[in-house]
Amino acid sequence: MDILFYHLTQSTLKDILPTLVERALARFGKVTIQCVSKEQRDSIDIHLWVYSDVSFIGHGTECDQYSNFQPVFLTTGQENPNDSKIRFLIEGAVCSDIDAYQRLVVIFDGSSVEQLNLVRAQWKKYKMENHNLTYWQQTEDRCWEKRV
């Protein structure tokens, strides 16, 4: 399994998430985004509808009906009703069944000590389990640089 870590240093989650989700949709067809809090889920829910004047990303949440038909599913839980093969883990979310996916994308805020500590523990665990790990860190000009 491929596990990608995205270390935010210059941008916010809302700045980068739509682009990453659009790329994931193009490659995998469906996406699940897991948040720790309902507040974060609801904030992303709104943002994916309004992030651009010319586009939006269709999606649903665990509160909506017909979750299995959604191209992007937002949740605070472990479910995967749209049978996505890629799962985004936001603000320290942890997936209990990583084998159900082809790829995990862990996005974390570099200014949060709590998130940094959690990500370090995840990295060690996934490395011991022999997953393919990639670490991307933002540069000062907001580009992504592969570090590991």
pLDDT digits (tens, 9 = 90+) for 89-133: 998 999 999 999 999 999 999 999 999 999 999 999 999 999 999
Write the CATH number for 43: 3.40.50.10110
Output the pLDDT for position 148: 81
pTM of the entire predicted model? 0.95
* Interval 30-50 mean pLDDT: 97
Burial class (CB in 10 A: 0-12, 13-18, 19+), 134: middle
Structural domains counted in the chain: 1
Query: Distances in Å between the alpha carbon of 109 and those of 13, 77, 96, 126, 128?
Result: 8, 21, 21, 19, 24
Domain containing 63: what range? Answer: 2-146
Residues forming a β-bridge with 108: 7
- What is the rounded distance in angstroms from the CA atom of residue 31 to the CA atom of residue 41? 14
